[in-house]
Structure 1
Amino acid sequence: MANTLYRREKLRSDLIAAAERMIAERGLAGLKTRDLAREIRCANGAVYNLVADVDELILRVGSRTLRRLDEALSPAEGLGEPSPQDTLVRIAIAYCDFAAENLQLWRALFEHRVEADKALPDWSIDDQLQLFRHIDQPLAALLPNRSPDELGITARSLFSAVHGMVALGLEQKLVAVPLPALRKEIADLVRAMIDGLVARAS
């Protein structure tokens, strides 16, 4: 029994890793369970003995991407003794760099949609919410009079602004912006937003 469970978990891990590689190479639209089954050497139908459905598989890959993003953002908080504003700028630039270096996996985080009547699993929601601590902590230092709920809304607004710039800036069409210029524009945006928030709070 133990060997059977081990083999199943090993195959499941191989499946998620293979899906991650496939999305990184082809994008979310290029994810094909038949190709995955061939790569990990199992029957096509056996994929659904390892994960409930394609949604779970994509969310599992997304969680791996979010953990790597978390690791990429964490060093931005510990470089010397930056001000909270400098920390937020560094986090925003680290987010931009991660997106540029992991473009297809990063896009998949936002392109994937589950059916309207299907709830996201708690583990997936927790993985997403964990990342906001990188923004919440410096914001709390800058805006000490705001409640946790208010800070949460501000953190999401700041993230949305940066994410929008990154998404448009990395779009490989007419709106694409060279990465060095994009990084500078993001830094300027974050500083301007923080200056405005602090000024209003005082």
Structure 2
Amino acid sequence: MAKDTQRRTEQRAALIAAAEAAIAGGGLGALKARDLAATLGCAVGAIYTLVADLDELVLLVGSRTLARLDAALAAADAGADGAGTDGTEAAVRRLEAVALAYARFAHAETALWRALFEFRMAPEKALPDWSVADQIGLFVHVDAPLAALLPGLDPERRGLLARSLFSAVHGILALGLEGKLVAVPQAHLEAQIALVVRAACRGLVAEQAEGPPS
């Protein structure tokens, strides 16, 4: 029984790796059951003994992508140079470092990064809890520096700000990598992302200093 379990685990890992390679090479449209079966040297039906369907397989690939992204953002946050600066500037540097790490990851693994946002579950299906947790977990890398930047802000508002900052950076990046007419040229993406993050931080700090509107 143990050997059968190990063999199934190895086959499932090989299937996920093959799916990841397919998406990395040609996007979500390149993920086809017949091609995967040919790569693995098995029947198409054998794939569905390892995963429920291709939706689950895409989510499993996405989980691996998110794990690498999580590690990249954590390393950027930990390595942000805040020596000799006050708490506010250190927090700004952390947010800038995380944003730039996100941009560099997207540039290095563009197809897999895009797949995270292009994939849609069928309307009748719900995202499994483990996939939701993978996605939400990334926001800690924005939330933690924001907590240092805006110590008086309640967690709910801070969570909304984390999502808003992420959306701003993601939007600049997505348009830039797609080369849209209105996009920031790729050569200037990182500098503009850093500028936007710093400008947002200055505005947030100033707003907190002013206090709530009377």
Equivalent in the alignment of 2:58:
58
Contact 2:172 2:183 in 1 (8 A): no
Q: Which moved more, 1:70-79 or 1:147-156?
A: 70-79
Equivalent in the alignment of 1:116:
123
Q: Describe the superposition over 1:3-36 as per-residue Cα deviations: whole angstroms up to 9, x where unpaired.
A: 1111111100000000000000011111111100
- Matched residues, number: 202
Equivalent in the alignment of 1:127:
134
Equivalent in the alignment of 2:164:
157
Is 1:20 the equivalent of 2:27? no
* CA shift in 2, pair 1:175/1:100, >3 Å: farther
Contact 2:62 2:112 in 1 (8 A): yes
Return the alpha-carbon distance in structure 2 between the equivalents of residues 145 and 134 of structure 1: 18
* CA shift in 2, pair 1:86/1:80, >3 Å: closer
Percent identity among equivalent residues? 56
Secondary structure of 1:197's match? helix
Return the offset for 1:131.
Answer: 0.8
Secondary structure of 1:78's match? helix
* Max Rg structure: 2
Per the normalisation by structure 1, the TM-score is 0.96
Return the alpha-carbon distance in structure 2 between the equivalents of residues 166 and 8 of structure 1: 39
For structure 2, the residue ranges without an aligned partner over 5 or more in a row are: 83-89, 210-214
Secondary structure of 2:49's match? helix
Equivalent in the alignment of 1:140:
147
Equivalent in the alignment of 1:11:
11
Return the alpha-carbon distance in structure 2 between the equivalents of residues 71 and 35 of structure 1: 31
Return the offset for 1:80.
Answer: 5.5
For structure 1, the residue ranges without an aligned partner over 5 or more in a row are: none
Return the offset for 1:79.
Answer: 2.2
Return the alpha-carbon distance in structure 2 between the equivalents of residues 103 and 130 of structure 1: 21
Secondary structure of 2:152's match? coil
Equivalent in the alignment of 1:78:
78
Return the offset for 1:173.
Answer: 4.5
Return the offset for 1:145.
Answer: 1.2
Return the offset for 1:175.
Answer: 4.5
